[in-house]
Amino acid sequence: MPNPYSILGVQKSADEKAIKSAFRKLAMKYHPDQNADNKSAQSKFAEINQAYEIIGDKEKRAQYDRGEIDDEGKPKFAGFQGGGNPFGGGGQHGGNPFGGGAEDILSEIFGSAFGGNAQTQRRGGGNPFAGMGGQQQQRQAAPSLDLEMKAGVTIEDSMRGKTTVRMPDGKQISVSIPPEAEDGKVIRLKGKGKSAPGRQPGAALITLVMKSHTKFRRDGVDLRTDTAVPLKTAVLGGKIAVETVDGKLSLNIPSGTSSGKIFRLKGKGLPKKSGGFGDLLVSASIQLPNEDLQQLVTFFENLKSSQ
């Protein structure tokens, strides 16, 4: 391990103020919250803490300069072998990842820059720095960079399997809609959230809001709609044009059709998880004629009188 002076980048003759300033600068640069998933930076952070634990403490620095402890702060002679730390302040070496002076500085840094302090991190359930004391790294929680948004989804969007959403910077991005997605489903777009120096961009969390339609209603993977059937066609039978999401189709109406009868158009509904599409359920509504209404009235009056 390099000697503590070279790790902090100071001369052996440096005063306490210079050593403290060097440590503070390096601690800010290599702090884990500034270097997410950067193992090299985390290792460097642990190294500078250990260096400052030695030369940032007046008594330990004197011991190091006299050659009584090594670059890791361990005693060099047998009189101190036995596992304890003869210089106080943390029990066995490695029990405290930063000495008293380092802890004060880190508390100041965490309080101003990371919303916490070294003492609460150390006492809150583990070592906040990777590779120190064999404990798992636990960093002070930084503000989330995730961006929460909503995206309106029409039935046509669901059929296509995609919609668009406008980001805060004005850009529009495409959002894939999985089959059978329901209102309130959250789509996570990695790397499309907010940014911060030294951190990976957050995710955009898009909540899907299913919009109503003037013609169609959702019923799981099926769609429902109503269609008017002329009385003459309902009585005699025939064909009518029915509107679907992707265009009009000809629907065969059998003779004697009543209002409320439902016709099923296969594959004209919404996408399924298993592949394919649901159906379009068309409910018939009998429509009286406008032009020949009087003839129809006369017909039923004559029919009534003959009974």
What is the Cα–Cα distance from 286 to 74, expressed in whole angstroms? 95
- Check residue 304 and give its pLDDT: 67
Are the beta carbons of 137 and 145 closer than 8 angstroms?
Answer: no
CATH class of 147-210: mainly beta
> 4-123 has which CATH code?
1.10.287.110
**Domain positions in the chain:** 4-123, 147-210, 217-294
Q: Beta 204-210 vs 147-153: how paired, if at all?
A: parallel
User: Which two tokens mark 235?
Assistant: 């009585």
Nearest to 125 by CA among 115, 139, 111: 139
Distances (CA, A) of 210 to 103, 161, 177: 52, 13, 11
Are the beta carbons of 107 and 118 closer than 8 angstroms?
Answer: yes
Residue ranges in the chain whose pLDDT is less than 50: 78-100, 112-139
**CATH match for 217-294 among 2.60.260.20, 3.40.50.1980, 3.40.50.1000, 3.30.390.50:** 2.60.260.20
Average pLDDT, rounded, for the chain? 80
Same fold? 4-123, 217-294 = no
pLDDT tens digits, 59-92: 889 988 988 888 888 887 644 444 444 444 444 4
User: Which two tokens mark 97?
Assistant: 């990842």
Q: Which residues contact 300 (CB under 8 A, 6 or more apart)?
A: none
Strands (E) located in the chain: 147-153, 162-166, 172-176, 186-189, 204-210, 217-219, 222-230, 238-244, 247-253, 262-265, 280-287
- Buried-exposed string 205-237: b where 16+ CB fall within 10 A, e elsewhere: bbebebeeeeebebeebbbbbebebeeebbeee
User: Which two tokens mark 28?
Assistant: 């800010």
Distances (CA, A) of 220 to 84, 180, 272: 69, 7, 9
Output the pTM of the full model. Answer: 0.51
pLDDT tens digits, 1-57: 578 999 889 998 999 999 998 988 888 888 877 776 788 888 888 888 888 998 989
Residue 274 sits at the vertex; the CA angle it makes with 270 and 276, to the nearest 5 degrees, is: 45
- Check residue 182 and give its pLDDT: 93
- Check residue 61 and give its pLDDT: 92
